[in-house]
Amino acid sequence: MKKTTLTLMLLGQLAFAAGASAVQLFDFDAQAVMPAGTGSAAVVYGRIVNGSAVATPLPLDFAQFEYTIVVTGLIQDIDGVTSLFSGGTVSIFQDAATAADWATPSSFSDGTAVLTGTLSAFQRTMLTTTLGSGAGTVDWTGGTMLNLLAPADQAGWPFLTAVSRAASQVQPGYSERWDGKVEPQEEVVSTEQRSWSELKAGYR
């Protein structure tokens, strides 16, 4: 009990010390195959490219592994300047065996699924003939790292991406390049701001 109390106090101090929120996100560079029309599904294959530059919401080892993101089953319900989608699943894989290559889509979905979830309410708006922007919401529901996220931190992650249809940006066999991110609503940490009286009240 003494150790537990001390740990809580230290965590409390850490929370108080961390004044400004840090930036955490999964930054990805992806290629998408868009559906020919409504009722068909889009699929997206991308690399997580944070490296050591921007913190990820979960501890990823970019020195040892490659991380990829795959979206499947994203059904296009409405086609237009703004297209609406439903039903997508999103997965983040960790793999050290096979380098991801857009010529071989399966190279993005091998390895260990560290996070899996649903992508809902995705909409993509084309703002010029070749450029657009998309947004949806991810709820994480599975994967080997899911339990590293507190239940309150597992839902409602914005999925945000730039979209380019320019020929110079799109790989053979794909229809769009997506450069975007998945990020929590706020910094994911094991601590939260709480007064000492609130902390003590939690143990009475």
Partner 1 sequence: MTFRKYTALSVVVLLAGVMSMGAAGARAAEVDYVGYAWETGGIAASLPGDQLSIATVVTQIDPLFQVDLNGVEATLYIEGLTSQGSTVNPSTGATTTTYAGGTIAIYAGAARNHDWGVNPANGTVPATFTDGDLIFSGAFTGFAINLLASGLGVFEGSIDGTGGSALAGPCASCAYTFAGTFATPTGAQIPEGYDLQVDGVLSVESAVGVETMNWGSLKQLFNPGR
**Does residue 52 interact with partner 1 by CB under 8 A?**
yes
Taking CB under 8 A as the criterion, the residue among 179, 189, 191, 194 binding partner 1 is: 179
From the list 5-13, 20-28, 35-43, 88-96, the region that binds partner 1 by CB under 8 A is 20-28
Give the nearer residue to partner 1 in terms of CB position, either 8 or 179.
179
**Does residue 1 interact with partner 1 by CB under 8 A?**
no
Q: List the beta bridge partners of residue 163.
A: 132, 178
Taking CB under 8 A as the criterion, the residue among 18, 78, 131, 152 binding partner 1 is: 131
Q: Return d(Cα 8, Cα 21) in angstroms, integer.
A: 20
Taking CB under 8 A as the criterion, the residue among 36, 127, 152, 201 binding partner 1 is: 127
Give the nearer residue to partner 1 in terms of CB position, either 76 or 181.
181
**Does residue 183 interact with partner 1 by CB under 8 A?**
yes
Least distance between partner 1 and beta carbon 184 (Å): 8
**Does residue 103 interact with partner 1 by CB under 8 A?**
no
List strand residue ranges (DSSP E) for 79-199, in order.
82-86, 88-95, 112-126, 131-142, 157-164, 176-182
Alpha-carbon torsion angle 97, 26, 54, 62, nearest 10: -10
